[in-house]
Amino acid sequence: MTTIEHWINGTATSAGSTRTAPVYDPATGQRQAQVLLAEASDVDTAVAAASKAFEAWGDSSLSQRTKVMFAFRELLVKHEDELARIISGEHGKVVEDARGEIVRGREVVEYACGIADALKGSFSDQVSRDVDVHDFRQPLGVVAGITPFNFPIMVPLWMHPVAIATGNTFVLKPSERDPSASNFVAQLYAEAGLPDGVFNVVHGDKVAVDAILDHPDIAAVSFVGSTPIAKYVHERGTAAGKRVQALGGAKNHAVVLPDADLEYAANQLTAAAFGSAGQRCMAISVGVAVGAAGDKLVEILERKAREIKVGPGGDPASDMGPVVTEAARERVVNAVARGAEQGASVVVDGRGLTVDGYEEGFFVGPSLLDDVTTDMQAYREEIFGPVLAIVRAETVAEAIAIINANPYGNGTAIFTGSGEAARKFQREVKVGMIGVNVPIPVPMSYYSFGGWKDSLIGDSPIHGPAGVNFYTRAKVVTTRWPHTTTPAAAFNFPTSS
């Protein structure tokens, strides 16, 4: 049995871990490896390595940091296929979807390659006679990330490139369900020239999470996961004096108006609802059909859902792979059953799906529910699977009211040909990320990612300018220089010193 170890201070190690958890192949349902689960002492070891590395890395030049980031970016490109297959093999998503995840994560690395511009301060000359004022930002020290299973490379890449490029050292606690991608990334960092101890990976469960949240030498923690755990992480981390970036769950709506291109809208909703088997925090799980759009939209969605080819992630013919675990499959099956019991129309039923040759895999097909109301569990709960619920509304205003009444506010979209309707929607909806004829409005890396309401606990979004601010603190310096003897000139370039 392969054992997946931690990565601490530049090498794979079992540290002091004795507990393990299984790692499954979701397509076969078989256990393919085991991953070590860290004890608090293992977190201590990783933090000690990161603290030691910070002594030099925190004082490193911007040129040195960006040189590493450029090299790391090229290695991500070089090893994209291998990394995509690692992700697919442990998560279950199709290889092309895994490649897309790598590309979106790599965009944050590219942003980090230009971190020098993001770290520019401001300068005010002669604020008083012979007095100037300027500001600059410095790294915090050791920071940590706790990341979910659904994007085993992209979500960590939202964190550590910006943290490291701004001069911090990093301890990552990835999901124990699909841990191998993080170790692969650690090896790529080492090959890119990142000094030992700057990036560390500690695998584990709640024991490791609590050790990170309580550790006095960790200055900040970034988290992406469910809302209940985000609230726990925020409360416990801030109580320990840390900065905490905590992104929670979602129930994302897409509004479709009668003037929309319904074939286009249905195409987009199908991909957004069923891609990655619906295991995305930005997946569209609710379609709000307005007025006359309803019946025709459902008709097209039914056709497209039935056309989806479900199979193992490594098969190029597969459009959608399995969900990550048997428990996840049961959650989806139960959600569809509850929807039917509570009065929803099951237009497409993904329960009971089997894939030839993979009968023990964690497969469930796309499900489409119509006539869903906002008091049904299929609407209220984050299913995190391939289930699209259709809610009917008569007007744009009613659709906006439905979205605003929902406790989540991560992402939303509107499909329309009307600029007036789109402008009303984007101004009035209480959601952090909005798409206009775009189903999954994940912003580019030079903007920040973060929702509203229960989708973001606290007030710090992730990556982009907010990420730079999160991983650094500002200093403001007021100076007056007396006259002194002019020093001798130096002829070397400052970046070579």
Structure tokens at 55: 């002594």
- Distances in Å between the Cα of 55 and the Cα atoms of 59, 141, 142 are 7, 9, 10
Question: How many of the other CB atoms lie within 10 Å of CB of 101?
Answer: 25
Nearest to 179 by CA among 13, 40, 36: 36
Question: Would you please indicate which residues are annotated as catalytic (active-site) residues?
Answer: 281
101 CB contacts (<8 Å, ≥6 apart)?
87, 93, 151, 153, 154
423 CB contacts (<8 Å, ≥6 apart)?
none
Let me know how long the chain is.
Answer: 497
Nearest to 53 by CA among 198, 202, 168, 199: 198
Q: How far apart are CA 81 and CA 197, in angstroms?
A: 27
Query: Residue type for 251, please?
Result: K
Going by the DSSP 8-state scheme, the letter that residue 443 receives in this structure is P
Alpha carbon 36 to its chain's center = 23
Residue 124's Cβ-count burial label (10 Å; 0-12, 13-18, 19+) is exposed
Nearest to 328 by CA among 387, 405, 393, 271: 387
Counting Cα atoms < 13 Å in the Cβ hemisphere of 424 gives 15
